[in-house]
């Protein structure tokens, strides 16, 4: 475990020396905590729902998601719920670029050979790289989520909105599925990084990793996917298995010899 942290700390020392990278990690979560709060603030006094009468079908459909929330409470809940999906996805989106550079970057700077010459196992190396990429994104997202939660508690039409929003379903999503998604994303990116010989290829291919995750997000927005506690629990369980499998395959696909002898 110690060596995993040594790798992670070195990565942070190197990557976050660039303020812009630090900014990029913090920026997205903060902006996604600010936007819903601004929206909430701007519609906080909005109570006349008659304008929405022509969308009665839509409102009827929405009521099944809102439970006992009515009127503006339901409207606020539906708007804020979309951002909850973003908080779930951010830990997977933010670290992909850093992770995709992790191995191929070592190769291009000729540091990989001395690194592999040390008594470190492939699993330790890859875990260190993955943690270095995932942890800042998870922490930044959770801080931003904390800001969002506090802001929502103050600005929502009633405490019921916050109670409904921060239900076990979304707590499991944000604190459970989000980090697991992040590990899956960075594991894939690190795996790709160890299989290509150009950082640009690594970044391009790693971006594709996010497509299935984005599909869930789009599905939620368009109502094709309805998340409930059971489905979220199943997703969490599935990602535990997926993460374990990805970490295993990442170590298996990391071919020291090929990387050292065939990459030029």
Return d(Cα 171, Cα 157) in angstroms, integer. 21
In terms of CB distance, is 1 or 51 closer to another protein? 1
Task: Note whether 36 and 152 are within 8 A (CB).
Answer: yes
Task: Note whether 57 and 96 are within 8 A (CB).
Answer: no
Contacts of 262 (CB under 8 A, 6+ apart): 197
Question: Within 10 Å of residue 35's Cβ, how many Cβ atoms?
Answer: 13
CB of 237 to another protein, least distance (A): 16
Kind and range of the H or E element at 48? none
Binding mask 105-124 for another protein (x = CB under 8 A): ----xxxxxxxxxxxxx---
CB of 132 to another protein, least distance (A): 13
Mark the segment that binds another protein (CB under 8 A) among 3-11, 36-44, 85-93, 209-217.
3-11
Q: Which two tokens stand for residue 153?
A: 């508690």
Return d(Cα 127, Cα 121) in angstroms, integer. 10
In terms of CB distance, is 2 or 230 closer to another protein? 2
Q: Counting contacts by CB under 8 A, is residue 20 touching another protein? A: no
Question: Within 10 Å of residue 8's Cβ, how many Cβ atoms?
Answer: 20
In terms of CB distance, is 16 or 65 closer to another protein? 16
CB of 249 to another protein, least distance (A): 8
DSSP 19: H
Question: Within 10 Å of residue 167's Cβ, how many Cβ atoms?
Answer: 14
In terms of CB distance, is 119 or 212 closer to another protein? 119
Residues 223 to 262 in contact with another protein, rule: CB under 8 A? 249, 252-253, 255-258, 260-261
31 closest CA partner among 144, 135, 137, 166 = 144
In terms of CB distance, is 88 or 259 closer to another protein? 259
Q: Counting contacts by CB under 8 A, is residue 200 touching another protein? A: no
Which residue in the set 8, 17, 82, 232 belongs to the binding site for another protein (CB under 8 A)?
17
Q: Counting contacts by CB under 8 A, is residue 82 touching another protein? A: no
Return d(Cα 142, Cα 158) in angstroms, integer. 23
225 backbone dihedrals φ, ψ, rounded to 5°: -120, 125
Q: Counting contacts by CB under 8 A, is residue 19 touching another protein? A: no
Q: Which two tokens stand for residue 233?
A: 């629990």
CB of 205 to another protein, least distance (A): 17
In terms of CB distance, is 46 or 249 closer to another protein? 249
Number of residues that bind another protein (CB under 8 A): 30
In terms of CB distance, is 7 or 157 closer to another protein? 7
In terms of CB distance, is 10 or 44 closer to another protein? 10
Q: Counting contacts by CB under 8 A, is residue 6 touching another protein? A: yes
Q: Is 121 in a helix, a strand, or coil?
A: coil
Its sign, for the CA torsion 48, 50, 54, 60, is positive
Residues within the interface to another protein (CB under 8 A):
2-3, 6, 10, 13-14, 17-18, 109-121, 249, 252-253, 255-258, 260-261
């Amino acid at each position: 475990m110690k060596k995993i942290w040594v790798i992670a700390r070195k990565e942070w020392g190197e990557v976050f020396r660039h303020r812009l990278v630090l900014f990029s990690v913090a920026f997205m979560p903060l902006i996604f905590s600010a936007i819903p709060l601004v929206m909430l603030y701007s519609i906080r006094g909005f109570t006349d729902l008659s304008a929405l009468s022509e969308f009665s079908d839509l409102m009827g459909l929405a009521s099944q998601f809102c439970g006992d929330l009515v009127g503006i409470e339901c409207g606020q809940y539906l708007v804020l719920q979309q951002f909850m999906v973003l908080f779930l996805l951010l830990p997977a989106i933010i670290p992909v670029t850093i992770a995709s550079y992790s191995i191929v970057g070592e190769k291009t700077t000729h540091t990989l050979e001395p690194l592999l010459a040390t008594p470190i196992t492939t699993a330790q190396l890859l875990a260190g790289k993955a943690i270095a990429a995932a942890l800042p994104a998870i922490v930044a997202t959770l801080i931003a989520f904390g800001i969002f939660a506090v802001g929502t508690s103050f600005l929502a039409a009633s405490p019921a909105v916050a109670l409904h929003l921060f239900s076990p379903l979304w707590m499991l999503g944000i604190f459970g599925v989000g980090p697991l998604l992040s590990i899956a994303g960075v594991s894939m990116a690190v795996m790709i990084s160890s299989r290509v010989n150009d950082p640009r290829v690594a970044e391009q291919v790693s971006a594709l990793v996010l497509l299935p995750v984005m599909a869930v997000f789009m599905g939620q927005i368009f109502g094709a996917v309805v998340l409930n506690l059971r489905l979220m629990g199943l997703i969490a369980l599935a990602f535990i298995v997926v993460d374990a499998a990805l970490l295993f395959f990442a170590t298996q696909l990391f071919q020291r010899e090929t990387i050292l002898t065939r990459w030029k």
